Amino acid sequence: MRVVVDFDLCESNAVCMGIAPEVFEVRDDDFLYILNETPPEDLRPKIEEAVRRCPKQAISIED
């Protein structure tokens, strides 16, 4: 699994960080960072929730 963010769509709302802080981080510069592009499979439910809840639909999963 690979986490993909469309940074043209992303507004750094930090919803994803609230759901999966192991994978997403919004820093003091107000930009989103992917901490782990290929997270372990046990994080899939959290990442799928982040995909669903992203206000801009900027996150996707590639298998």
Task: Tell me what the pLDDT averaged over the chain comes to.
Answer: 98
Domain ranges of the chain: 2-62
Residue 4: both structure tokens together? 């993909």
Mind spelling out the 3-state secondary structure of the chain? CEEEECCCCCCCCCHHHHHCCCCEEECCCCCEEECCCCCCHHHHHHHHHHHHHCCCCCEEEEC
Give the pLDDT of residue 42: 98
pLDDT at residue number 5: 98
The dotted CATH code for 2-62 is 3.30.70.20
Tell me: the pLDDT tens digits for 5-62?
999 999 999 999 999 999 999 999 999 999 999 999 999 999 999 999 999 999 999 9
At 4, the pLDDT band (50, 70, 90 cuts) reads very high
